[in-house]
Structure 1
Amino acid sequence: MRKLIAAINMTLDGICDHTAGIPDAALHQHYTELIANAGAILYGRITYQLMQYWQTLLLNPSGEKAMNDFAIAIDKIPKIVFSNELKETNWITATLSELTLDEKVLELKQQAGKDILVGSRSLIIQLLNDNLIDEFQICIHPVLEGKGLPLFDQINHRKNFKLSKTKTFSSGAIVLYYEPVK
C-alpha cells in the first residue's frame, strides 16, 4: 500500500506561505529528491497555479542548478489537481481529478507504486480531518511572517504524532518528519 505524505513549508509562527521561506540550493535539492522518489503529487488550484512557475524555468533555465533540477523534477511527476474552477491544466503531466479528494486518495493508496505527495494546505487539512495522511514532512523556516494563513486551522479533532526523524539545513530551516499515532 502506498503512503500519503503531506510535505509543506511553514514559518516559525505557523504560517503556510510558499513565498515566505528561505529557498536555498539545499532546500531545492531536498524537494527535488522527494519528488523524484514519489509517484504523484496532489494539488489544490491555488498551489497548482503557483507551481506552474516552474514551467518557465524549463524554457528559460535560471542558471542555478538546484532550481533547474527542481523544475525538471516537478515537470516529470504526475500532478493531480482538485479544482471546481479550472477546466484544463495546461501541463502535460497534470490532470484534473474527476473523483473527490478522499475517493482519489483511497484509489491511489490501493495501487502499486511509489508514495503519493500532497503539497496544498487546503488538501492537507481535509486529508488530516479524514485520517488519510500517513506521514508529515513539515519544513519550518526561521522566519516570523506575522500574517497569512495558518497551516493548521479548521482541524476537527485532536491528532497525535510521533517524530520519526529530522533534517536540518544551513539556512536554519528544519524538516520534521512525523507519523500519526494510531
Structure 2
Amino acid sequence: MWSAQDVARDQVRRQASGLAMAAVAGKVAEAAVRERETAEQLRRGGPVSEFQTDPERLAAIWAAKHVEWRRVRDLMTRAGWGVYEPERDIEGSAWAREREERRAGVLAARAAFEARRREGADELRAELWLSAAPSRLVRAAAGRAGVAPVQLLAQLAERVVVGEDGTVSVPPFTPSR
C-alpha cells in the first residue's frame, strides 16, 4: 500500500521526534551505511535476512530513509532547530496527512467491497426454465402489469410465504414497476 518513500517518511518522522541535531546526524550516517549494505546485498542476490524476503524493497526503503534523514537534518540546520519536532515540519506533516488520507481511502474501499461481497452472498441468482403454459401465463401477467417477466417473477419471489406445514404460497398482489 505504501511506497518505499512513504515507509521511510513515516518511520523517520516517528524516530526523529525529539532528537537533537547530533542524533539526527548519526541517523544520516547509519542510513548511508544501511543503504550501501542493502544495495551490495541486492547486487550479490539472495535474501537480505531471514525476515526480509524482498531485497529490492529493503534497498529502496533504506535509500529513501537516507534521503529523508538528510532532509530532516537540512531542515533543522536551515531553521536553526536544536530538536526535531514533527509538528513544525510543514513538508513532513503534509506527507503524513496525504498518507493517512490514502490509507483511509483504501480502508473505506475495502470495507465497501466487503459489504458488497456480504450482500452478494445473500443474493440468489437463478435461471428458470418454464414449460410453455406457465411461461405464457407469466408473460401475459407481466405484459398487463407493464413489467418484464423476470421482474414479475422477482416480485412473486419476494412475496412468498412458507406455511408451518411447508406449503408455499403467494398472496394476491398487483405487480409494480
Q: What's the TM-score once normalised by structure 1's chain length?
A: 0.25
Q: Which has the larger radius of gyration?
A: 2
Structure with bigger helix share is 2
TM-score normalised by the chain length of structure 2:
0.26
